[in-house]
Amino acid sequence: MTVAKNSEATAEVNVMAESESIIIPPCDLWSDEPPLESDRHRDQIELLLACLKWWWRERSDFYATGNLTIYFSPEHITTRDFRGPDFFVVLGTENRPRKSWVVWAEQGKYPNVIIELLSNSTAKVDKGLKKILYQDTFRTPEYFWFHPDTLDFQGFRLMGGQYQPLDPNTQGWLWSQQLELFLGVHNSQLRFFSGDQQLVPTPDERAQAAQQQAQAERQQRELAEKRVEELLARLKELGDESDA
């Protein structure tokens, strides 16, 4: 169904273009990505998106998504030579839903950060062909990969036209200049950490923290009320003793 929609969009644009002798590449293309490797891969993508979107909840100048096709060359539409990173972020763009990321319809912008989730069947391509593509064609400033099963984690920054490995800190985290966040493995998942090394929470973690804070405040209030009651009782005892 996806291929059919893309073909219809291409045909419609070409008909219009032929009447004016102008070739206009289609811009309204549907994503055309295969299913994710496993539930763990899907959960990891959703985790990264939920945390980053909450962390940047006051911002509207970025686009973050996962498993979405990036169309980077009109000539490659028919040859199906396009890529869909597992997770990517584009900075300095409008934050709105999209069917895909079409580079020539987005002012020529490519992702600022790409994260690929490795599997036994994709690791070779992610570490080889895709790395070269993101380095030489996309010119993506930062590229990371993470294997949800083996926890293989590595990151690169584009320097002098070549990807150079990032050095981890003492916790094994890697700093992303583009996101101004650390990326690191926590409880066997890839997570974001703030500049002061605080874990960027998930919705469940935020709810749990709020519940724990409310419980602590309730316990403190109950303790304070108990102390007041004990003090009043003691004062009453002292009063009775003085009357006697």
DSSP one-letter string for 58-80: T--SEEEESS--EE--TTHHHHT
E-only strand ranges, the chain: 62-65, 70-71, 87-91, 101-102, 113-117, 142-146, 153-159, 162-165, 174-176, 181-186, 189-193
Q: What is the pLDDT, as a whole number, of residue 44? A: 96
- The separation between CA 216 and the C-alpha centre of its own chain, rounded to angstroms, equals 32
Which of the two residues, 131 and 5, has the higher pLDDT score? 131
**pLDDT tens readout for residues 154-173:** 999 999 999 999 999 999 99
- The separation between CA 231 and the C-alpha centre of its own chain, rounded to angstroms, equals 54
Question: Which residues 6+ apart lie within 8 Å of 34 measured at CB?
Answer: none
Judge whether 93 and 61 are in contact, CB under 8 Å.
yes
Q: On the CB side of 132, how many CA atoms lie within 13 Å of its CA?
A: 4
**pLDDT tens readout for residues 62-109:** 999 999 999 998 876 665 666 789 999 999 999 999 999 999 999 999
Average pLDDT over residues 141-146: 98
Poorest-pLDDT segment among 108-122, 123-137, 144-158, 227-241: 227-241
Instruction: Quote the CA–CA distance of 23 and 15 in Å, as a whole number.
Output: 9
Instruction: Quote the CA–CA distance of 19 and 108 in Å, as a whole number.
Output: 26
Confidence of residue 230 (pLDDT cuts 50, 70, 90): confident
Confidence of residue 242 (pLDDT cuts 50, 70, 90): low
Average pLDDT over residues 48-62: 97
**pLDDT tens readout for residues 106-122:** 999 999 999 999 999 99
- Token output for 173: 């985290």
Judge whether 136 and 108 are in contact, CB under 8 Å.
no
